[in-house]
Amino acid sequence: MLNLLKFKQPGGQEKFAEYGALSGPILARQGGEVFYIGEAGPTLSGDVWDSCIMIRFPDIEAFIGLAADPDYLAKAPALREAALERTLWMVTQPPAG
């Protein structure tokens, strides 16, 4: 999953760190792992982003499991909302073959 982030100012990046601390263990329970976090660079066209996170899930069901987890639903959506001006979640798959 590709996750592009634009933080609210001020304090969005700090709120997103709280979100990460909460969601990280839930992500791990679903078999997911963050394998890349980076600052977003300049774009040639389109929106400007602050950060890029890439997460690997074993399958789409694990991603759905994260989003439906009661511990996640209790607090994580409010933290994401407080942290982000906008975001893009893109589920991807390796090419077949």
CATH code for the structural domain at 2-90:
3.30.70.100
Distance CA 57, CA 66 (A): 10
pLDDT on residue 18: 97
Report the sign of the C-alpha dihedral through residues 29, 35, 40, 44, in that order: negative
**pLDDT, position 41:** 84
Amino acid at 10: P
| pLDDT tens sequence across 29-84 | 999 999 999 999 888 888 899 999 999 999 999 999 999 999 999 999 999 999 99
